[in-house]
Amino acid sequence: MTAPYRSLACWVLALAGMLLSAMSRADDAHVLRYAAPHEATAQPLEIYGALDNDLMAPLLADFHARYPDIELTYRNLTTLTLYRRFLAEDEASADVVMSSAMPWQYQLANRGHAQALTTSAARQWPQASRWRHELFGFTFEPVVIVYRRDALEGATPPDSHEALLRLLTHERQRLTGRVVTYDPWRSGAGYTYATEDAHMSPRYWELVAALGGVKAALADTTGEMLDGLADGRYAVGYNLLGSYARDFVADHPQLEMVIPSDYALVTQRLVLIPNRAPHPETAERFVDYLLSRQGQQVIRDKTPLGAVHTALEGEGTARDLRKTLGDALHPIAIDPSLLATLDTLKRHSLLERWQREYTRLSDNGP
């Protein structure tokens, strides 16, 4: 090999090394590790989760304090990356898989990728928050509306879907460019909420048209919407995830969070133990902890995720929300209807209609 080619090859190898190193550092930034004090007796546990580190840390720390001999690794991944990585690795690397992407989690369990958990806590878990004994909803997170008080001065606040439709219709000029919601084309959460809204409300498509009428911005995440509301770009945000909005709104007094009174969608993080989990004993111990009163108390007291456990009361718990909202509460069902959201033809049909309705008022003018 001549000198110029050797130099080029060295440069390429060096660049590849730097890229791999950068990727490794980026991966490490999304990993939480809790070491066991004695390596010889350490019991490994590998968790794949689509839940931010700051929300998982209180749960992991409490679990590790109870079971210090478990050497715990938590990998924070996006919902899509988690799903693809799990299947690509032939389900033999993760001991526990937890995600807010309810349709994908249900699909994994429905296709036989999950093993049953039959502990006392699992057997007593509410029927509405599990599928068989293989898939468990361990959080209770309402989908909410957030608005700026100063931006809606003199107007009736949107405390329901009907009230939001009236607000967008009557204050169209004032709110043009000042409303934000999920983009159902790009966001899995946005698409799931659109599917549920279309089933729940006979006037949902009027609401989509009204959102298009005010040229609502379309976002990928609740965090993006909250930032825009806080800095004044937006006056109203529709269908935000309440677990992220609750603490954010508490820190920004100009914002108000509303759980819609006509009907309130509730999403749940779903957890399963893969059939081929390398360490099923520690996996069972962790999921049993998530469903236990102790684990659920940590969720209630140290996170905004909302506890499911029927014995627990307090802000954000399923029991408290049911007491407040009654029949208006609508948890997304953990059943075969979730698979319909993954059907390509049905997805295309809903998104095409969503686009038609969203552009209808704009196409027809004011």
- Statement to judge: residues 18 and 158 lie in one domain: no
Q: Are 224 and 351 contained in the same domain? A: yes
Angle at 60 between CA 104 and CA 65, to 5 degrees: 150
Give long-range contacts, CB 8 A cutoff, 24+ apart: 203-208. Answer: 203/161, 203/162, 203/165, 204/161, 205/353, 205/357, 206/165, 207/161, 207/164, 207/165, 207/168, 208/354, 208/357, 208/358
Reported as a single tens digit per residue, the pLDDT across 222-235 is: 989 999 999 999 99
* Residue 82: predicted pLDDT: 87
Q: Are residues 175 and 231 both part of a single domain?
A: yes
In 3D space, the residue among 93, 131, 18 whose CA is nearest the CA of residue 277 turns out to be 93
Q: Is residue 84 over pLDDT 90?
A: no
Which pLDDT belongs to residue 136?
Answer: 98
Closest by alpha carbon to 317, among 246, 239, 222? 246
Mean pLDDT rounded to a whole number for the chain: 89
Between these two residues, 294 and 79, which has the higher pLDDT value? Answer: 294
- 109 has pLDDT over 70: yes
What are the respective helix, strand and coil percentages of the chain, to the nearest 5?
Answer: 50, 20, 30
30 and 93 belong to one structural domain: yes
Measured between alpha carbons, how far is residue 196 from residues 6, 55, 269, 341 in Å?
Answer: 59, 26, 17, 10
Domain housing 171: 142-265+342-364
CA 13 to chain centre: 39
Q: Which residues pair with 270 in a beta bridge?
A: 99, 137
CATH of the domain at 27: 3.40.190.10
Q: Tokens 């498509």 identify what position?
A: 205
Mean pLDDT of 24-28: 45
Distance, CA of 220 to CA of 185 (rounded, Å) = 9
What CA dihedral angle connects 97, 100, 101 and 106, to 10 degrees?
60
- Give residue 80's pLDDT band: very low, low, confident or very high (50, 70, 90): confident
- Are residues 177 and 146 both part of a single domain? yes
pLDDT score at 91: 58
Pick the more confident residue, 55 or 287.
Answer: 287
pLDDT at residue 4 above 60? no
pLDDT at 221: 87
Q: Residue 103 in contact with residue 332, Cβ under 8 Å?
A: no
Q: Looking at the structure, do residues 226 and 347 belong to the same domain, yes or no?
A: yes
Residue 160 one-letter amino acid: S
Write out pLDDT tens, residues 233-271.
999 999 999 999 999 999 999 999 999 999 999 999 999
**Amino acid 19: pLDDT:** 42
The residue among 322 and 187 whose pLDDT is bigger is 322
pLDDT recorded at residue 363: 57
Shared domain check, 350 and 326: no
**pLDDT (average), residues 348-358:** 94
Closest of 172, 248, 154, 262 to residue 216, by C-alpha: 172
Strand partners, 43: 70
Residue 126 pLDDT more than 50? yes
Per-residue pLDDT, 20: 38
Give residue-wise pLDDT tens across range 32-63: 998 888 877 789 999 999 888 989 999 999 99
Per-residue DSSP letter, 298:
H
Contacts of 169 (CB under 8 A, 6+ apart): 210, 213
> What confidence tens digit (pLDDT) does each residue in 303-314 have?
999 999 999 999
Residues 157 and 206 in one domain: yes
Structure tokens at 176: 């043009």
The rounded radius of gyration (Å) of the Cα atoms in the chain is 23
Same domain, 55 and 147: no
Question: What stretch of H or E contains 230?
Answer: helix 222-230
Per the structure, the count of domains in the chain is: 2
Query: Average pLDDT, stretch 349-358?
Result: 94
pLDDT at 318 over 60: yes
CB–CB of 277/94 below 8 Å?
yes
Q: Are residues 286 and 350 in the same domain?
A: no
Same domain, yes or no, for 222 and 346? Answer: yes
Going by pLDDT thresholds of 50, 70 and 90, the confidence category of residue 361 is: confident
Give the tokens for residue 117.
């958990």
- Does 65 score more than 90 pLDDT? yes
Q: Are 320 and 79 in contact (CB under 8 A)?
A: no
Mean pLDDT of 150-179: 95
Q: What is the pTM of this model?
A: 0.83
Residues 207 and 351 in one domain: yes
Per-residue pLDDT tens over the stretch 8-23? 444 544 444 444 344 3
Rounded percentage of the chain residues whose pLDDT exceeds 70 = 90
**Helices 53-66 & 293-302 angle (0-180, nearest 10):** 140
Residue 249 and residue 150 in contact, taking contact as beta carbons nearer than 8 Å: no
Q: Give the whole-angstrom CA distance, residue 228 versus residue 252.
A: 12
